[in-house]
Amino acid sequence: MGAAELSILAKQKQTEQPLLAVRGLTKRYGRRIGCAEVSFDLFAGEVLGIVGESGSGKSTLLSCLAGHLAPDAGTVVFDTADGPRDTVRMAEAERRRLARTDWAFVHQNPRDGLRMGVSAGGNVGERLMAVGARHYGQIRAQAVDWLGRVEIAADRMDDRPSAFSGGMQQRLQIARNLVTGPRLVFMDEPTGGLDVSVQARLLDLMRGLVREMGLSAIIVTHDLAVVRLLADRLMVMQGGQVVEQGLTDQVLDDPQHAYTQLLVSSVLQV
Amino acid sequence: MIRISNLAKSFTLHNQGGAVIPVMAAASLRVAPGECVGLTGASGAGKSTLMRLIWGNYLAAGGSILVGDLDVAQAAPRDIIGLRRTTLGYVSQFLRVVPRVPTIEVVAEPLLTLGLPADQARARAASLLARLNIPERLWALSPTTFSGGEQQRVNIARGFAHAYPALLLDEPTASLDVVNREVVLNLIGEAKARGAAILGIFHDEAARARVCDRLVDVGTFTPKADA
Amino acid sequence: MTDQAYNFAYLDEQTKRMIRRAILKGVAVPGYQVPFASREMPMPYGWGTGGVQVTAACLVPEDRLKVIDQGADDTTNAVSIRKFFQRTAGVAVTEATTAASIIQTRHRIPETPLHEGQILVYQVPIPEPLRFLEPRETETRKMHELEEYGLMHVKLYEDIARHGTIATSYAYPVKVEGRYVMDPSPIPKFDNPKLSDSPALQLFGAGREQRIYALPPYTQVVSLDFDDHPFDPSKAAHDCDLCGAAASYLDEVIIDDQGGRMFVCSDTDFCRGRREAGHVGALGVPLAEGGM
């Protein structure tokens, strides 16, 4: 095992350029603060969890990062194929192109992220067609492959998502997002609204995909168990501010900030 | 391999009037490659706290914790993640896994994370599970349904899957029968032989005597009551 | 005979100028949907109010107007619009495709090739080809702006997944000059090839949706498809039972209660022309003998 493993270790001394570098990101709603002065780096292959209760600004932050909302100040520099670019200031056409190629967004409610009137195969194929795929057979083959990877049987590919269970819809949404091989996935409460056993399956699936595809992910959730299992690093938000960030198990096992201590102690065992 | 100097730890309980509880002061310790050091001390003396400080899920209040050439007390999360992936292994007392994931995958995961091909990773996981006498019919099941002893052996298999240069072992032989205890002690011996630096907590005195080269009493790191 | 109570072609001159400006913009940007202030017309929406306004804005007294509905000059919709312009503009009318200077149409392109100088005005119910998958107008406009047309192929993909072939048989989406995706109005896909490289000016008016778009003469128009499912402008595997035409678009007509039926050209002017020239179909009789 030695030699093969050593060469792999050597490869992991990777580039030091962060995939996403966020500085001073601020969004206000009139006088109210959405999120204030948020800064962090995310490197390739890392999973960052953002936790906080409703109204803490975590969803606002995610929207600003993903380009769904224009921040009032700050920069979000993404390491594009042409080098680092501030996505806040790039032209909308370019940002939308990123959104269908290098980025993906998994919504809490699959209905927001799927086309409910289009078959499962069509949902997965859309991103391929959006980037120029024009061979029906190949699109279909890739859709079958991806449905398989998220454990949806090939014979369901022509069914509409409305005929699927909540967990299947969520897995379909993930397949639809990952089919074009993005490098960064934004997830908004991806396991919210699912049964615990279905959540487990989804978590395992996401872990495997993150590992196999070398994905980076930013996951917003209020579920500390989810971040414990998925996230390498954790950011805790309260009132629009990041009150604590660090290694996930460090933040959960040895929280430093009063709010984090309260958050952790309020949860049954995580 | 592991060098701890002047390490301090305290907890600040913000929700209990901001009480500051110092739990460790001036802790110093070294573990050389190929050496196994056992931590001793009364229950609550801080053995597990020290392990967690080294693992990085407890934040040090002062001092340094060098594992290889990384100071865990100062390192960025990203570097600690890298350290855990390649250099530092940890067998805790409890198995914490995603429910419904097959045992063989749980054990193979550290190797898959290192980028090892899936078949090689599974082969290594299978040989460890076999050695630790986990029946093959259980490999495809999630360990969350297993007995305490079985879970502990899965945990050990996972911790020994990759040949980490440094290992933290928290009660690795607790709740094991004689046969499996022997297997684990042999695994530890082999790890020492290949040069791993091991820091462990062993309540089992016979086991401690057999694998540990030195003992360190963490009671000496407890802060003075009036400090 | 013009009814003097109306301005020429019903609309006031300011309105016609407004519409002409929209048309000119449409001609300048082929396939782009130009918003315009659609007026109330003395006919219900869905009866060609968009096409009528475009025709009114284009008409001059010297024009000769032809109006067809599903290829026929003598259906209610065609007759009422023709009468409307006879009364409000006093222009000459014709049923002959070659003799007309302006042709307003619903759901067909004439079989007889058009020539330079002619204007073909389409009545359009829903101008937005992306509408059925994306209900938000703000979003579809953005998609046109940024040429994000993947969704159009999703529609075709769904067709093949469900029916084995692209089952869309009318309002089949096209791409204009490699830029805008356009709904050609509910013409049969059989007519799609005639959209491209036509010597005539083609104008599209949607009254309720307040949109005008255009294809200037000799514009390249390509029907969307997949590499392995190419566009196929199919028609019924039949000849016209009246005139024997093999390559014209056919209507199926039930002729008795026993399930008897015949296929006839949907383009009545084209069919009559062929029969006058002596062509006879399987169920037809020579025109000179006073048959159908």
> Least CB-CB distance to A204: which of B81, B98, B112?
B98
In a domain, B130, yes or no: yes
Backbone angles phi, psi at C154, to 5 degrees: -60, -40
| Active-site hit among C26, C205, C243, C284 | C243
Q: What is the pLDDT of residue A268?
A: 61
Whether the Cβ atoms of residue C156 and residue C230 lie closer than 8 Å to each other? no
Segment A165-189 mean pLDDT: 93
Which of A122, A127, A131 is nearest residue C157 as measured by Cβ atoms? A122
Specify whether the CB–CB gap between C277 and C244 falls below 8 A. no
> Pairing relation of β-strands C34-35 and C261-265?
unpaired
> B1 lies in a domain?
no
- Mean pLDDT estimate for chain B: 92
| Residue A250 in contact with partner chain B when CB distance is under 8 A | yes
Please give the tally of structural domains in chain B: 1
Contact B58, A253 (CB under 8 A): yes
pLDDT for res A3: 46
Mean pLDDT calculated for residue range A228-246:
94
C224 vs A6: which has the higher pLDDT: C224
Lowest-confidence range among A207-211, B84-88, B168-172?
A: A207-211
Residues 192-211 on A with a CB inside 8 Å of B are 197, 200-201, 203-204, 207, 211
Confidence of residue A9 (pLDDT cuts 50, 70, 90): very low
Is the model's pLDDT at A5 over the cut of 80?
A: no
What's residue A16's pLDDT?
73
Q: Measure C159 CA to nearest chain A CA, in Å.
A: 10
At residue C235 the predicted structure's pLDDT band, cuts being 50, 70 and 90, is confident
**Can you give the residue range of the structural domain that contains B169?**
27-221
ipTM of the complex: 0.89
| pLDDT confidence bin for B222, thresholds 50/70/90 | confident
User: What is the structure's pLDDT at C225?
Assistant: 96
Mutate to test the interface with A, among B57, B86, B94, B170 (most CBs of A within 10 A): B57
User: CA C81 → CA C6, C49, C66, C206, distances in Å?
Assistant: 15, 10, 10, 16
Burial zone of C77 (CB within 10 Å; 0-12 exposed, 13-18 middle, 19+ buried): buried
Q: Quote the tokens at residue A105.
A: 């967004």
Beta-carbon pairs below 8 A across chains A and C: 57
Inter-residue long-range contacts of B137-140, CB under 8 Å, 24+ positions, other chains counted: B138/B103, B139/B102, B139/B103, B139/B104, B140/B102, B140/B103, B140/B104
Tell me the average pLDDT across C34-43.
94
Question: Would residue B32 count as lying in a domain?
Answer: yes
pLDDT tens for A44-79 read: 989 999 999 888 999 999 999 999 999 999 999 999
Q: Closest partner residue to C146 among A96, A122, A131, by Cβ?
A: A96
What are the DSSP E strand ranges found in C116-232?
Answer: 119-123, 174-176, 180-182, 201-206, 211-215, 221-223
Q: How confident is the model at residue B94 (pLDDT cuts 50, 70, 90)?
A: confident
User: Each residue of A138-150: pLDDT tens digit?
Assistant: 999 999 999 998 8
Does the annotation mark C31 as catalytic? Answer: yes
**Residue B11 maps to a domain:** no
- End-to-end CA, chain A: 35
DSSP B37-75: EEEE-STTSSHHHHHHHHHTSS--SEEEEEETTEETTT-
Residues in A closer than 8 angstroms to C158, CB to CB, are 118-119, 122
Give me the pLDDT at residue B17, please.
Answer: 86
Say whether pLDDT at C288 is over 80.
Answer: no
Q: What's the pLDDT score for residue A64?
A: 96
Residues forming a β-bridge with C221: C176
Percent over 70 (pLDDT), chain C: 97
Hunting for tokens 């002690």 — which residue is that? B185
Q: Is the pTM of this model over 0.80?
A: yes
pLDDT tens profile A101-147: 999 999 999 999 999 999 999 999 999 999 999 999 999 999 999 99
Closest C-chain CA to A126: C154
Q: Please say if the pLDDT value at position A10 is more than 50.
A: no
The one catalytic residue in C26, C31, C71, C273 is C31
- Cβ A125–C226 below 8 Å, yes or no? no
Q: Classify residue B187: in a domain, yes or no.
A: yes
| pLDDT value at C10 more than 50 | yes
Whether residue B38 is contained in a domain is answered as: yes
Q: What is the residue type of B58?
A: Y
Q: How far is A270 from chain B (nearest CA, A)?
A: 10
Look up residue A83 and give its two tokens.
């080098």
> Span C104-116, mean pLDDT?
97
Nearest-by-CA chain C residue for A128: C150
Mean residue pLDDT of chain C comes to 93
Could you say which of B14, B96, B116 has the minimum Cβ distance to residue A261?
B14
Check if the beta carbon of residue C220 is closer than 8 Å to that of residue C152.
Answer: no
Q: Lay out the sheet containing A32-42: strands in order across.
A: A32-42, A20-29, A73-80, A83-86
Instruction: Find out whether B157 and B107 touch, Cβ atoms under 8 Å.
Output: yes
- The region that residue C107 occupies, defined by phi over 0 for left and psi between -120 and 50 for alpha, beta otherwise, is left
CA-closest candidate to residue A215, choices A245, A255, A187: A187
Instruction: Count CA within 13 A, CB hemisphere, residue B36.
Output: 23
User: Each residue of C154-203: pLDDT tens digit?
Assistant: 999 999 999 999 999 999 999 999 999 999 999 999 999 999 999 999 99
Note whether C154 contacts A136, CB cutoff 8 Å.
Answer: no
The mean pLDDT of C86-106, rounded to a whole number, is: 96
Residue C161: HSE in the Cβ half-sphere, 13 Å Cα cutoff? 28
pLDDT above 90 covers a percentage of chain A that reads 71
**Token representation of residue C174:** 């096209």
Instruction: Note which residues in 94-153 of chain A have CB less than 8 A from chain C.
Output: 96, 100, 115, 117-119, 121-122, 125-131, 134-137, 139-140
Q: Residue C287: pLDDT band by 50, 70, 90 thresholds?
A: low
Chain A residues within 8 A of C162 when measuring between CB atoms:
119, 158
Asked if residue B9 is part of any domain, the answer here is no
Residue A267: pLDDT over 80:
no
Joined together, the tokens standing for residue B132 give 């630790």
Taking contacts as CB-CB distances below 8 angstroms, the residues of chain C near A129 are 150-151, 153-154, 157
Contacts of A5 in chain B (CB under 8 A): 114, 116, 162-163
Mean per-residue pLDDT for C25-52?
95
pLDDT computed for residue A2 by the predictor: 47
pLDDT in tens, C239-281: 999 999 999 999 999 989 998 899 999 999 999 999 999 999 9
CB-based burial, B160-173: b 16+ in 10 Å, e otherwise: bbbbbbbbbbbbbb
Which residue of C146, C158, C228 is in closest CB contact with A93?
Answer: C146
pLDDT exceeds cutoff 80 at B112 = yes
Strand partners, B31: B2
Confirm whether C271 is a catalytic residue: yes
Residue B96 lies in a domain: yes
Check if C265 is active-site: yes
pLDDT-derived band at C118, boundaries 50, 70, 90: very high
Q: Chains contacting A with at least 3 CB pairs below 8 Å?
A: B, C
Residue C283 has pLDDT above 90, yes or no: no
- Is C243 among the residues known to form the active site? yes
CATH assignment at residue B213? 3.40.50.300
pLDDT for position C66: 98
Pairwise CA distance, residues B152 & B146, whole Å: 9
CB contact under 8 A, A96 and C226: no
Nearest to A250 among B59, B116, B120 (CB): B59
pLDDT of residue C65 exceeding 50, the answer is: yes
